[in-house]
Chains A and B, each alone.
Chain A
Amino acid sequence: MELKRAAAWSARAAGWLEAGVLSLLLLCLLVLGCTQVVLRNVFDSSLLWADPVLRASVLWIGLLGAVAAARDARHIRVDLVKRWLGGWPRAVIEAFTAGFAAAVAGVIAWHGGRMVLDELAYATPGDFLPAWVLQLVIPISFGLMALLHAGHAVLNLVRGRDS
């Protein structure tokens, strides 16, 4: 019971953390985007660094949003099984598909990590930040998604055994 409560608490805390980070990034998009409009149309100038920051924020928002989607099991998929099956067959299939997704996300995270290390070694100068800092989101997000998918798979196996 103690363990279950700790798990529920940590899931909620992770949800808050995602909400907080995503809010900051979106605020950054919003404020910078509007600033650019005003600067360009009123003062006929622009912040040179704003554009790369905006584009990088979209990458971070997209991939961290994908982590949130993995936690809520909201990734886009063909939803036939969920609608026509129930009980343990459904749990087994859900466990299989989540395990498959965990493996794929894990492989991407691994190669993303290699990409970051390579970039660190060769240190290409980025537009405003070294590229490896921006790329860091790929191993982080896909690593988290791998863990969340794996957790989903285990949960379904347990559910399938119980039903």
Chain B
Amino acid sequence: MIPALLLLAALLGAPLYAVIAAGALIGFAQAGYDLQIVTIEIFRLAETPVLVAIPLFTFAGYLLSESGAPQRLVRLTEAWLGWLPGGLPIVALVTCAFFTAFTGASGITIVAIGALLLPALVEDGYRERFSLGLVTTSGSLGLLFAPSLPLILYGVVAQQMGIGGPVGIDDLFLAGVLPGLLMVAVLSTYAAFQSRGRSVEPQPFSWGKAVAATRAALPELPLPIVVLGGIYSGLLAVSEAAAVTAAYVVLVTVVINREIKLRELPRLVRESMALVGAILVILGVSLASTNFAIDAGIPGQILDWTTSWVDSKALFIAVLIVLLLFLGMLLDIFSATVIVVPIILPIAVQYGIDPVHLGILFLAAMQLGYFTPPVGMNLFIAAFRFDRSIVDLVIATIPFFLLLLGCVLLIGYWEGLSLVLLDR
């Protein structure tokens, strides 16, 4: 009865943090606990050092998207990759992937970069349906690359569980590289095929353009090196890399390029921290609900139930992918991570799945949810931004969906793709 009512509240649009908190409060109350236990769990947000990275990376991403960085990034990739067959779509894919990694996959990519690229693609002779599908799909493409927020959040949740071996955030950052590149490569190949028979020839490569674009983007170019180099060299912890990144982005956007005025900063801080707050409050209350679920033995029951009819790892992965695609349609990636990972992680470990591999598979599958009808968030953002109907966008994204689904299956069944860069 109560779970059904909570589900109804969630479907009617109650804030998910309130729904999760209500579940924990009611559960603990029925079990006779003092409800202070819920606030004590929320307070555990202050005991998780790596969370420091989330506000800092989010702020850096917000500043970048408000500055001229998206235009410069497009120009840079176009100058270096525009001569390839399917050059411009590849530019779109690479740029969006890079940008999404930094802005945490919150739909900003479509607004900031998709809007620049859609008219250019159509002008370049690509069919409109293909172009529309491409920019909508690209909006969630960089999710598997460091330092994307969903990767960090998965690491935090998995660390809290503490089963099936260590799940370092830096491990996840490495594990996402090849699967992420696979997705970019598959879509790029598709784009190259699409470019055959269109009216405009690819632009020849020009050193002059390449140098000019590189010079314009010079202040921003060290960013990936700071983040990835800093973390993988062991020089910086993830949270430290976030602090350095944020400081560096403030320096570039406010002091060097002067594209953002100092007095605009408080507004941008408030906007970006509202997003961080929306994520962290869900994480906080889910610490309580997870604790209750474990106390009530729910993961064990689900595990028993699953093992009773899923008798192999291969079958489990198939079931998991179907389940994740379904969840991805309904839930955003952050809520899904804090609600679903505590349930599936213990089960996956039982089937011999590495927690890091599970994280990559989980995020890759959830990435599809961003543009799975009927409620994929990016469908709506794109519909709003490009003034098209949802049905148009759904049709436009179908080929991309099928291709990425193939990637998700490959990622799921080929563990090495995620784990080969790790020393395991």
- A87 contacts B by Cβ under 8 Å: no
B38 touches A108 (CB 8 A): yes
B331 touches A78 (CB 8 A): yes
A79 touches B13 (CB 8 A): yes
Q: How far is the CB of A76 from chain B (nearest CB, A)?
A: 5
A66 touches B280 (CB 8 A): yes
Residue of B nearest to A71 (CB): B274
Q: Which of A42-63 contact B (CB under 8 A)?
A: 51, 54-59, 61-63
B12 touches A97 (CB 8 A): yes
A101 touches B15 (CB 8 A): yes
Residue of B nearest to A65 (CB): B277
Given the contacts A51-B49, A69-B278, A100-B18, A93 and B13 also touching, CB distance less than 8 Å: yes
Instruction: Mark interface residues in A65-97 (1 if CB within 8 Å of B CB, else 0).
Output: 111111010111111111100000000011011
- A7 contacts B by Cβ under 8 Å: no
Complexed CA–CA distance, A77 and B246 (Å): 28
Residue of A nearest to B265 (CB): A23
Q: Which of A32, A55, A98 contacts B47 (CB 8 A)?
A: A55
Number of residue pairs A-B, CB distance < 8 angstroms = 215
Chain B hits for A29, CB < 8 A: 52, 55-56, 243, 246
A69 touches B48 (CB 8 A): no
Q: How far is the CB of B241 from chain A (nearest CB, A)?
A: 9
Q: Which of B12, B40, B274, B331 contacts A81 (CB 8 A)?
A: B12
Complexed CA–CA distance, A82 and B12 (Å): 9
- Tally of chain A residues near chain B (CB < 8 A): 64
Q: Which of B15-35 contact A (CB under 8 A)?
A: 15-18, 21-22, 25, 35
Complexed CA–CA distance, A82 and B14 (Å): 11
B269 touches A76 (CB 8 A): no
Q: Which of B36, B273, B335 contacts A68 (CB 8 A)?
A: B273
Complexed CA–CA distance, A93 and B11 (Å): 11
Given the contacts A26-B55, A37-B240, A107-B25, A62 and B276 also touching, CB distance less than 8 Å: yes
A94 touches B13 (CB 8 A): yes
- B370 contacts A by Cβ under 8 Å: no
Q: Which of A1-38 contact B (CB under 8 A)?
A: 15-16, 18-20, 22-23, 26, 29-30, 32-34, 36-37
- B216 contacts A by Cβ under 8 Å: no
- A138 contacts B by Cβ under 8 Å: yes
Residue of B nearest to A68 (CB): B274
- B51 contacts A by Cβ under 8 Å: yes
B17 touches A15 (CB 8 A): no
A111 touches B10 (CB 8 A): no
Chain B hits for A112, CB < 8 A: 39, 42
Complexed CA–CA distance, A159 and B330 (Å): 28
Residue of A nearest to B9 (CB): A100
B277 touches A78 (CB 8 A): no
Chain B hits for A19, CB < 8 A: 266-267, 269-270
Complexed CA–CA distance, A83 and B9 (Å): 16
Sample 6 A-B pairs with CB under 8 A, ordered by A number.
A33-B56, A33-B243, A55-B52, A66-B280, A69-B278, A104-B18
Interface residues of B (CB under 8 A from A): 9-18, 21-22, 25, 35-36, 38-40, 42-43, 45-49, 51-52, 54-56, 59, 235-236, 239-240, 242-244, 246-247, 250, 265-267, 269-270, 273-282, 284-285, 330-332, 334-335, 375, 380
